[in-house]
């Protein structure tokens, strides 16, 4: 899979892409990252990328010309792949959106700065808008990295264990069960006996119940979307789940 990331601050993006799992995925040819500085497509002597808003008011607005020029130079016109603008006004990024995006062979991401970006970029260049949550950051660089990271780890071969992402929190609208490693007793706190029992059926059952309990206590809103067996439902009801069946 190929990512093209358009930004005014490439130096904030590249160190993360050059670290750990993302770096290894790129070295192994599973993914490629291409970071483009929008400023390289300015044509005036001051390399201007922002301007005052029409109608007045505070803040600066990103000019459309360099953004269009950058994206069209790299992706063609019309663009050869989805072009995603990171913005607090977009659809909210979830594990399901990450999975959907991971099926694309190529994605372009635009990280906007300043107070905003000229509306014509949204209307005529961008095909999708994504928010990473209901809060406002100073720019789209961190959100772009969040999307790249969440999507890349879903690509086949990126994580060592091919089953690893199936059990992730949110993979099935459930939070993940607790994990333990050695030592078996740390400061007097013991690893649950069942995990040391070697009984795989019991371990699976315990993990399922822990995932259900965690979700019930921390994020009961997720349960209406989770695929629950009759046994799961009975377990949840026994632990106080009041919600009627969906």
Distance between CA atoms of residues 150 and 218, nearest Å: 22
Q: Is 168 a catalytic residue?
A: yes
Closer by beta carbon to ligand ADE, 4 or else 141:
141
- Length of the chain equals 246
Does position 88 bind ligand ADE by CB under 6 A? yes
Does position 162 bind ligand ADE by CB under 6 A? no
Does position 98 bind ligand ADE by CB under 6 A? no
Does position 131 bind ligand ADE by CB under 6 A? yes
How far, CA to CA in Å, does 178 sit from each of 66, 126, 192, 234? 48, 40, 10, 21
Considering only 52, 73, 77, 137, the residue that binds ligand ADE (CB under 6 A) is 137
Does position 140 bind ligand ADE by CB under 6 A? yes
Tell me the CB-side half-sphere exposure of residue 75, using CA atoms within 13 A: 29
Q: Is 202 a catalytic residue?
A: no
Closer by beta carbon to ligand ADE, 127 or else 224:
127
Which stretch in 51-59, 73-81, 83-91, 102-110 sits in contact with ligand ADE by CB under 6 A? 83-91
Residues touching ligand ADE, count (CB under 6 A)? 11
Distance between CA atoms of residues 11 and 202, nearest Å: 49
Q: Is 134 a catalytic residue?
A: no
Q: Using an 8 Å Cβ cutoff, are 109 and 147 in contact? A: yes
Does position 92 bind ligand ADE by CB under 6 A? no
Does position 7 bind ligand ADE by CB under 6 A? no
Considering only 133, 162, 183, 192, the residue that binds ligand ADE (CB under 6 A) is 133
Does position 77 bind ligand ADE by CB under 6 A? no
User: If you ran DSSP here, which 8-state letter would residue 134 be given?
Assistant: S
Handedness of CA 79, 134, 174, 244 (dihedral sign): negative
Point out the catalytic residue in the list 72, 168, 176, 209: 168
Distance between CA atoms of residues 110 and 143, nearest Å: 10
Ordered alpha helix ranges (H), the chain: 10-17, 20-27, 64-75, 95-101, 119-124, 141-152, 200-218, 230-238
Q: How far is the CB of 92 from ligand ADE (least distance, A)?
A: 9
Handedness of CA 101, 150, 109, 22 (dihedral sign): negative
Which stretch in 58-66, 84-92, 113-121, 163-171 sits in contact with ligand ADE by CB under 6 A? 84-92
Q: Report CA dihedral (33, 38, 39, 42) to the nearest 10 degrees.
A: 140
Closer by beta carbon to ligand ADE, 66 or else 140:
140
Tell me which residues are annotated as active site. Answer: 88, 115, 153, 168
Residues in the site for ligand ADE, rule: CB under 6 A? 86-88, 131-133, 135-137, 140, 143
């Amino acid at each position: 899979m190929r990512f093209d990331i358009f930004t005014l601050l490439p130096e904030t993006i590249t160190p993360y892409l050059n670290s750990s799992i993302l770096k290894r995925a790129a070295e192994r040819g599973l993914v490629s990252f291409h970071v483009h500085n929008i400023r390289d497509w300015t044509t005036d002597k001051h390399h201007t990328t922002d301007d005052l808003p029409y109608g007045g008011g505070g803040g600066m607005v990103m000019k459309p010309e360099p953004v269009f020029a950058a994206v069209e130079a790299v992706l063609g016109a019309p663009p050869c792949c989805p072009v995603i603008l990171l913005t607090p006004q977009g659809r909210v990024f979830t594990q399901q959106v990450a999975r959907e995006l991971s099926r694309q062979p190529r994605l372009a991401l635009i990280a906007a700065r300043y107070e905003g970006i000229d509306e014509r970029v949204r209307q005529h260049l961008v095909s999708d808008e994504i928010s990473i949550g209901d809060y406002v950051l100073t720019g789209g660089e961190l959100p772009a990295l969040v999307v790249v990271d969440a999507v890349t780890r879903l690509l086949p071969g990126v994580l060592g264990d091919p089953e690893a992402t199936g059990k992730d929190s949110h993979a099935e609208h459930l939070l993940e069960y607790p994990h333990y490693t050695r030592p078996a007793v740390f400061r007097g706190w013991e690893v649950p006996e069942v995990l040391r029992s070697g009984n795989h059926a019991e371990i699976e059952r315990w993990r399922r119940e822990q995932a259900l309990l965690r979700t019930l206590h921390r994020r009961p809103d997720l349960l209406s979307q989770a695929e629950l067996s009759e046994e799961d439902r009975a377990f949840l009801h026994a632990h106080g789940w009041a919600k009627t069946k969906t």
